[in-house]
Structure 1
Amino acid sequence: MKSIEDMMKAAQEAAATVQAQMQEAQAKLDAVEVEGVSGGGLVKVLASAKGRIKSISIDDSLMLMSEKQMLEDLLAAAFNDAREKADVVSNDEMGRMTSSLPLPPGFKLPF
């Protein structure tokens, strides 16, 4: 039987490995780009899979003051579309990473 010290050392090494894998996954997610679109492509939002907005593209036809409310609504829709796509990519990546970990059923890592 292993001593408690051996088990503690193994647990610390496993925790360090998980932490390194988490940092690597987070870095990968920041490099993955998703595009949210609304208004049939009139408004586009480019974001990282972590949800960081990288750019916004607005079709020239929407730059009229009379279209201000519609533009604001389209921007909100495009942000939400990008966020949903980022969540899917993030969950897939984290699921791949955690599937190899020996976690008890129902255990969730904090993301």
Structure 2
Amino acid sequence: MRGGNQMSQLMKQAQKMQEDLAAAQEEVALMKAEATAGGGMVRLVMGAGHQVETLEINPDVVDPQDLEMLQDLLTAAFNDAASQLDQMTQERMAEVAGGGLGLPGF
């Protein structure tokens, strides 16, 4: 009967892991990252799926003669926010995966 008990425990662990994964996915869907560039001249808030939710540009940074600088600031803010979201997602999912099933090699 010992083998049946181990299988039951394994099934319970697998079910808990599925529940934890579902909860983590819900948390990830609500995550937001904020990034600034140019000393706060550009501020961006990004949500799940890398959707830009807020973009603020200080009027002082808008120079029609130097649009390249504004483009660089926007790119930097976008990339920073995307990187933050990716890192937060990886960390949260690693927490769930770290629980594992107690099996060697998994």
Matched, 1:67 2:66: yes
1:89 equivalent in alignment to 2:66: no
Count of aligned pairs? 102
Shift of residue 17, structure 1, vs aligned partner:
4.8
Q: TM-score, normalised to structure 1's length?
A: 0.70
* Unaligned stretches of 5+ residues in structure 1: none
Tell me how far 1:59 sits from its aligned partner: 0.9
Partner SS, residue 40 of structure 1: coil
The separation in 1 between residues aligned to 2:51 and 2:27, in whole angstroms, is: 13
Percent identical pairs in the alignment equals 28
**Normalised TM-score (structure 2):** 0.73
Higher deviation after alignment, 21-30 or 73-82: 21-30
Q: Structure 2: where are the runs of 5+ without partners?
A: none
Structure with more contact order per residue of length (Cα contacts < 8 Å, sep ≥ 6): 2
Provide the aligned C-alpha RMSD in A: 2.8
